[in-house]
Amino acid sequence: MQGLHLMAELEGCAPARSLMSDVGALRETCLVAVRRARLTVLGDLFHRFESPGGVTGMVLLAESHLALHTWPELAAVTLDVFVCNRGVDRSAAAQAVLDELARAFSPRHVRAQRLQRGLPHRPA
Amino acid sequence: MQGLHLMAELEGCAPARSLMSDVGALRETCLVAVRRARLTVLGDLFHRFESPGGVTGMVLLAESHLALHTWPELAAVTLDVFVCNRGVDRSAAAQAVLDELARAFSPRHVRAQRLQRGLPHRPA
């Protein structure tokens, strides 16, 4: 298995829409980004915390997963996009999803990390 | 927001039970591990691929998330456990979940990574 895991921490978020706490809007934004990148949605799960109103969500992909968590009280968001690159290089799709979602939050600061996942397979 | 993200790539997996492709058994193993570590389950989503029978799954936690993907044809698994450590240090709980799940697959090789997530908050 070989894959690419993109992570970003967003700070100073000031989205035009209430993406930090509107679970429906955030879910829709994620699904649009994933589908635009031609990744395959298997299911999704989003939850809004009553107080202070953050949202935590995941999209299960045929190619692996997307996860994000918002902290409106800190104007902060974490993003994870993980794609399996076995057979097909989906790095550009993963980056497109991460970039689109990061832009949606209009963050003042972004800390991004790019990790190669997996081990080269050795016969048992 | 500050958090800890634990990742592991498992190779040469030979679980006693059919955890690599039995979606019910894998889901149950994940939920037991998470609850034993006193993390709070908000929901979960698991999917089994028809061919070659791998499982992909996520558990949404009040403290962030767990994600795992199995590749039975490669005897490989990826694990992710991400916990928010704001206010309470849940690092030991995250490590306990990762360790319990990794053990369940009896891997021959493990590559683990431990990442600190988040940025110290600066007032906007």
The one-letter amino acid code at B110 reads V
> Hey, are the CB atoms on B9 and A118 less than 8 Å from each other?
yes
Distance from A9 to chain B by nearest Cα, in Å?
A: 6
pLDDT per residue over A7-46, tens digit each? 999 999 998 888 999 999 999 999 999 999 999 999 999 9
DSSP codes joined into one string, B46-86: EEE-SSS--EEEEEEETTEEEEEEEEGGGTEEEEEEEEE-S
Tens digits of per-residue pLDDT, A70-99?
A: 999 999 999 999 999 988 999 999 999 999
Q: Which of B5, B65, B69, B91 is catalytic?
A: B69
Using CA atoms, how far apart are residues B77 and A84, in angstroms rounded to an integer? Answer: 12
Task: Tell whether omega for the bond before A107 is within 30 degrees of 0, i.e. cis.
Answer: no
Strands B109-117 and B3-11: antiparallel
Model pTM?
Answer: 0.93
B84 catalytic, yes or no?
yes
B 40-99 residues with CB < 8 A to A: 42-45, 47, 49, 56-58, 60-62, 64-65, 67, 69, 71, 74-76, 78, 80, 82, 84, 86
Helices (H) and strands (E) in chain A, counts: 2, 6
Q: What is the ipTM of this complex?
A: 0.91
Number of residues written out for chain B: 124
Please name the residue that has the structure tokens 């558990």.
B59
pLDDT in tens, B9-54: 999 999 888 899 999 999 999 999 999 999 999 999 999 999 889 9
Helix (H, G, I), strand (E, B) or coil at B11: strand
